[in-house]
Amino acid sequence: MTGSIFSEVRLGFARIVFSHPSHNSMPSGLLAQLVEAIDAAAADPKVRALLLRSGGEGTFCAGANLDELLSIQDEESGRSFFMGFANVILAMRRCPKPIVVAVQGKAIGGGVGIAAAADYTLGCRGAQVKLSELAIAIGPFVILPALIRKLGVSAASELCLDTEWHNAEWAREKNLYQRVYAGPEELFREARLMAKRFADYSPEAVRRLKQSLWEGTEHWPEELARRAEITGQLVLQDEAKAALSKFKSR
């Protein structure tokens, strides 16, 4: 049950689909494969835009894989685990091509981070978002820079602190989603059209635009690594272990 990555190039854009049988959660191996797929599309001259989504029409991404979280026994393995989502965000950041993310269902934790790191994010009515990290005695430190960049400090604080579900309309109002559609079928159709439109733009103009839009994030590689280290320490605390075990037993 390691999950899979599907990637294809059509009409000038790469469609990358990640899947995992446990609500599209993301174990370390799948996160690493996703980074490789994004980097490969970034380097492919036939690709001028990327469309990133998950498999099925249910949950977009349940975040970190719970079994793997519970297996962390030391700070180094904890840091390495939380670098998984950090590396995905960094791959999205360094990609010189526009990335569209289509969120067809619930996004939790790192899944919200992926939505926030996109250049253009589309959702549908079922695409609720939630950050539950504080409820399990850690915190969304790794994805927080992407959240603040996209939503601003106030909305990011709300999402981090109340650990409740927020609907797709809230996400659109707070600029996490640029557009919201009725359901997955319409969402995926419009996401493909959007990626095709972006692929028709001048690659050099887009590269320079993306570089400008991401100004001020040059320190992210070091900053996200520092935040992964913090989270890796917190997950070893007794309070976090107890909260994770209780969460799994539900």
Question: Sorting pLDDT into bands at 50, 70 and 90, what band is 181?
Answer: very high
**Strands ordered across the beta sheet of 99-103:** 4-10, 13-19, 49-54, 99-103, 120-124, 179-181
Q: What's the confidence (pLDDT) of residue 1? A: 54
- What percentage of the chain has pLDDT greater than the value 90? 92
Question: Sorting pLDDT into bands at 50, 70 and 90, what band is 245?
Answer: confident
The stretch 5-13 carries a mean pLDDT of: 97
The reported pTM is 0.96
Residue 9 has pLDDT above 70, yes or no: yes
> Domains along the chain?
4-199 (3.90.226.10)
The stretch 182-203 carries a mean pLDDT of: 98
51 with 102: CB under 8 angstroms? yes
The stretch 130-150 carries a mean pLDDT of: 96
Residue 133 has pLDDT above 80, yes or no: yes
Higher pLDDT, 12 or 71: 12
Residue 249 has pLDDT above 80, yes or no: no
Q: Token pair 């109002």 is at which residue? A: 173
Q: Give SS3 for 15.
A: strand
Q: What's the confidence (pLDDT) of residue 246? A: 83
124 forms bridges with which residues in the sheet? 181
Per the prediction, the chain carries an average pLDDT of 96
DSSP string, 67-121: HHHHT--SHHHHHHHHHHHHHHHHHHHH-SS-EEEEE-S-EETHHHHHHHHSSEE
Residue 187 has pLDDT above 90, yes or no: yes
